[in-house]
A and B are shown apart, each in its own frame.
Chain A
Amino acid sequence: MARASIKLLVLLGALLATAVLSLHVGGRADVGISQFFSLLSNSGERTLQELVMLDIRMPRTVVAILTGINLAIAGVILQAITRNALASPSILGINQGAALGMTLAVLLPSVFVVGVEAMAIIGALLAGTLTFGFSGGFRGSIRPLPLVLSGVAVGAFSFAMVRFTFTLDDEVARDVILWTTGDISGVRWHDTTALSLWAFGGILAAMLIAHKLNLLAMGEAAAQGVGADPRKTLLIGAVIAAGLTGVSVATAGPMAFVGLVVPHLCRIVVGADHRRLLPAAAVGGAVLLLFADGLSKLVVAPEEVPVGVIAALIGAPYFVYQALFSKELDL
């Protein structure tokens, strides 16, 4: 019990430290964490520096937290329902499907009238369904290699379609490049609403099926043996994961590797029980993106590197390590 609370303290400490980093750095050198505290104490007229903290830094930090939570939870769920350590929104093509959905919504607004956010979720769902279908997931057995290969194929196809827009127009191309790298430099408070609703609902729903995810992890046969219908869990999990990914991509663009790396690291720390893994991954995802956000503002200051690039720079080496040395993969 003492060890568990130490782990919790470490995670929360990391969250606090990276949140301070994300809040402290940015375009204006005269705005830092001290404005955050003066905001709390100052009830009168707010200074310009305090307003920068309130209107620009804080929503950005909150978006980083929520995006990290959403992608990490999506990753945990996907890894559980596919029983595949390599599963994550980007590996399964779900990120790219969401990006394609958004691109379509922006290019042809009269055809895809449901809006950018909805198209991102639809694209995510569709890409996930295709990946599952191609790998034989609907026949009840998901083997790691076909799953990853299908995901790569679906992702590559979606991205090829997105890249096609690069040839259309310089300005459209520039916009698409922005989404496809993951960028949160322009977010404001109103961008946090959908993200926070999904994050809250996603954690809640995932916690409710946490026990079933544990059973699934033992194998579908075992799960059926104790009376759980794995297909139902699979479906619910897939919908939650696609929704979480879609809403994140719609706000921040696709962030590769967050949904892959965070569940792994957290599994090492708190173990494979989803009742503990899910909250840990939520915090871990937030920490990773907060850290990436802070770095993205520092690396080439005063300009910025898109946060998605930094997240990938952190995540990719771990992915390679995992692919080379992991015993779980069993490719």
Chain B
Amino acid sequence: MGNRRFLSSLAAAGFALLSLGGIAQARDVQHELGTTNVPDEPKRIVVLEFSFIDSLAAVGVAPVGLTDDNKPERITEQYRAIIGNDFVSVGTRKSPSLEMIASLQPDLIIADKTRHSSAYKSLSAIAPTIVLDSLTGDYHSALEQAQVIGDAIGKSEEMKARVAAHTARFESVKANVANAKKEGRTFQFGVVSSRGLYLHAPHSYNGSLLMALGLPLSLSAEGAGVSYESAYVKTSLEQLSEINPGVLLLGRYSENTVTDQWKDEPLYKAVTAVKEEQVYYVSGHNWARLRGIVASELTFDELEAALAKVAEKTGK
């Protein structure tokens, strides 16, 4: 009897030691709003921005909960191929449901600085929360954030390797861009809907990605760091003709867009990109809403395809 008690207390002590070891391994993660103690290898992760899904997918980790803006198609097939479909939507990125998040009993929450800072306390009460600047961050900071996330979920080495592979891909695209540059065209990305054309300035996320690649952009870099809104410039046809991009890369956000409405207008036809048939429709969702390693590689694919067509047409 006494023996057994001794054994069981030994087991209990051993267990306590083990869990102590666990706590000792738990790491402090520095983020936008301070330092958070994150458990070792969190298993139930909830993410509140698309770029965080991207970072998890980059190292093959599936979240239990994510924000899909209540539009399942916003979690694209490229992500689903990696993270599967066994996640729960916790609502919109703008106002995620705290109740849904709590019900998932997460052990790590990754939130956005702009959108979720005001909910940081509530989120922290549910689970250890780290806050990163996804919405207003640029391409470079998206890669840094991926590493922070990799460290936080105990996949530092995997993430380092993934970022290295990504960087190699980035460099090859950059070489491609350098070739295209010789043709002397300026490029401009924007998203277009039935309500208007929004060009993405060099200090927007996508602008920073294209700038990093060395692509000559049509919009000037003035106004950088002014505000999130200033990165997305509502552009009238008259302004577009003044900016006069040589290649126009457009993401379509609705069926009938203003560029469709403009297509018979002489001024639109006089824009260099339109006149020389250098308007390419790309996935606005991948280019602008999604951010991070996986998403930017999708952007690379579409950009290289467009560059090839530009070269082909110019060669003729």
Contact = CB atoms under 8 A, between A and B. Distances in A.
Contacts of A186: 196, 236-237, 258
B281 interface: no
Contacts, number: 61
Interface in A22-52: 26-29, 31, 46, 48, 51-52
A328 interface: no
What are the 10 A-B residue pairs with the smallest beta carbon separation, nearest first? A27-B238, A27-B239, A51-B266, A175-B195, A185-B236, A48-B270, A28-B242, A167-B95, A28-B238, A27-B242
Contacts of B233: 303
Contacts of B198: 174
Query: Most chain-A Cβ atoms within 10 A of its Cβ — which of B94, B198, B233, B238?
Result: B238
Contacts of A51: 265-267
Interface residues of A, number: 24
Nearest to A176: B195
B265 A55 contact: yes
A27, A55, A304 interface centre (most CB from chain B within 10 Å): A27
Interface in B190-217: 193, 195-196, 198
B112 interface: no
Given A51-B266, A51-B267, A28 B241 contact: yes
- Interface of chain B: mostly helix, strand, loop or mixed: mixed
B315 to A, nearest CB: 28
A323 interface: no
A43 to B, nearest CB: 17
Interface in A46-74: 46, 48, 51-52, 55-56
Interface string A181-205: 0000110000000000000000000
13 contacts: A27-B236, A27-B239, A27-B241, A46-B266, A55-B266, A168-B92, A170-B94, A178-B195, A185-B234, A302-B239, A303-B233, A303-B234, A304-B236
A256 to B, nearest CB: 21
Contact of B242 (A29, A169, A178): A29
Nearest to B198: A174
Given A169-B92, A186-B196, A302 B266 contact: no
Nearest to A177: B229
Question: Helix, strand, loop or mixed for chain A's interface?
Answer: loop
Contacts of B239: 27, 302-304
A52 B237 CA distance: 9
Contacts of A304: 234, 236, 239
B69 interface: yes
A330 interface: no
B253 interface: yes
Contact of A167 (B94, B253, B265, B266): B94
B238 A26 contact: yes
Contacts of A178: 195-196, 234
Interface in B238-270: 238-239, 241-242, 253, 258, 265-267, 270
Contacts of A171: 193, 253
B267 A302 contact: no
Contacts of B253: 171
Nearest to B232: A174
B114 to A, nearest CB: 12
Nearest to B194: A175
A185 B242 CA distance: 15
A296 B223 CA distance: 19
A168 B94 CA distance: 8
B258 A48 contact: no
Nearest to A31: B238
B92 A167 contact: yes
A302 B242 contact: yes
Interface in B158-195: 193, 195
Contacts of A28: 238, 241-242
